[in-house]
Amino acid sequence: MKLGISIKIDVTKIDKARLVKGEKGTYLDLTTFIDTEKQDQYGNHGFISQSVTKEERAQNVQTAILGNSKVFFSDSAAPQAQNRAPQRQQAAPPLPIDADEGWPFSF
């Protein structure tokens, strides 16, 4: 199954001590839990937080929730959950390419 997931985070909540300096840049390890069967009142399917180490998980260390994730595409033929919160209808933003030309990447 393929999913398209939109992720939004509040960068002011990032614990900068958890940034990892690598050879080609500075990295931030994130974790997300997604439930495609349920949405919150804002249409989100999950949350994003900074990752914890194996040792921290054993000690039940939790990091702040930085933001949310929302599934916007799924190629699954599975039925959608019936208990979803109503969503506001919004106009789709214009695509950067002509939809008939295809995408520069594959789904």
30-51 pLDDT tens trace:
999 999 989 999 999 999 999 9
CA–CA dist 51, 61 (Å, integer): 10
Output the average pLDDT for the chain. 80
pTM of the model: 0.62
Q: Is the pLDDT of residue 101 over 70?
A: no
- Greatest alpha-carbon pair distance for the chain in Å reads 52
Confidence (pLDDT) at 76: 79
Q: What tokens appear for 87 in the block?
A: 């969503």
Q: What tokens appear for 35 in the block?
A: 């439930």
CA–CA dist 24, 1 (Å, integer): 32
**Residue that has been written with the tokens 């939109």 in this structure:** 6
Torsion of CA 30, 35, 41, 43, to 10 degrees: 80
Answer with the residue of higher pLDDT: 100 or 68: 68
